[in-house]
Structure 1
């Protein structure tokens, strides 16, 4: 059975967004033919859409899966519905938002799914947590993600803390499973500062 590495972005700003994301990571790890390999910390940031809504909490997880991309997407949408997701307005409030950012080196452009996610390089709240767990991450065309940080550094982003899943695995390890990648992280509650980097062309 062929397994591939997929990267998923998580976001929430309704209810208890930290708990929603914590639970979502555990739910993803429990999906058939899926296993969470690494998780970022939790990051808070102001919404990029209408400003009359709460700040978002975001994170990124890396999983190993034998599901096809479309099957993974359907499974993630099922988790969103189970969390009580409701669509309000464009870039509006979300109980839980799960996006496939990348799926191996595949490039997919279908009515159902676009991979890599077209907004990756414009989102500080995607780039910073992704690079936390995968500093050498690249897009399928070979462009390093780190090369895009300078362009998004003006969007405020605050590291909150490591996730429950991450802390538990770091402390005890996981029998039969890869331990999450751990990196030096910004101090809790501090703004994330990015080192200016030339954008890849």
Structure 2
């Protein structure tokens, strides 16, 4: 299945955080088919925090959606994520934005991701990955 993951970070060595997360995605999630450039973006929701680096990956995976969610949460922890508060700063964030044409809407997982489609950087990432998310 082809999935789109969006990675973001605004704490520590941001480029290293992204690199470490991508290495774990390649090793445990699946083959990376495409990657967008990295975009520096202003924080959303809580504005008094450092800017984010964000980019997207198109990945071929065999993991079903909830197993993929478990894996990306594990990857976040391995890279150093710890819980702060909603829209707060983070070492790494990995969002499952698209999982083929599957739609899921439960508390722990919403696909397509509901909060990104109206953000400018996300539209750019979709363009680079040659995908659309509705």
Q: Secondary structure at the match of 2:32?
A: strand
- The unaligned stretches of length 5 or more in structure 2 are none
Structure with the bigger RCO (C-alpha within 8 Å, sep 6+) is 2
Q: Normalization by structure 2: what TM-score?
A: 0.94
Give TM-score, length-normalised by structure 1: 0.64
Residue 19 of structure 1 deviates from its aligned partner by: 1.1
1:44 CA drift (Å): 0.2
Q: What is the CA-CA distance between 1:101 and the residue it aligns to?
A: 0.2
Q: Aligned to 1:85, which of 58, 63, 81?
A: 81
Point out the structure with the larger strand share: 2
* Larger Rg computed on CA atoms: 1
- Gapped runs of 5+ residues in structure 1? 144-201
Report how many residues are paired.
Answer: 134
RMSD: 1.3
Counterpart in the other structure of 1:20: 17
Runs of 4+ residues deviating >6 angstroms: none
Distance 1:103 1:40, change over 3 A: same
- SS of the equivalent of 2:40 reads strand
Task: Give CA deviations for 1:99-118 in whole Å, capped at 9, x if unaligned.
Answer: 00000001111232110001
Distance 1:89 1:114 in 2: 19
Q: Does 1:138 align with 2:112?
A: no
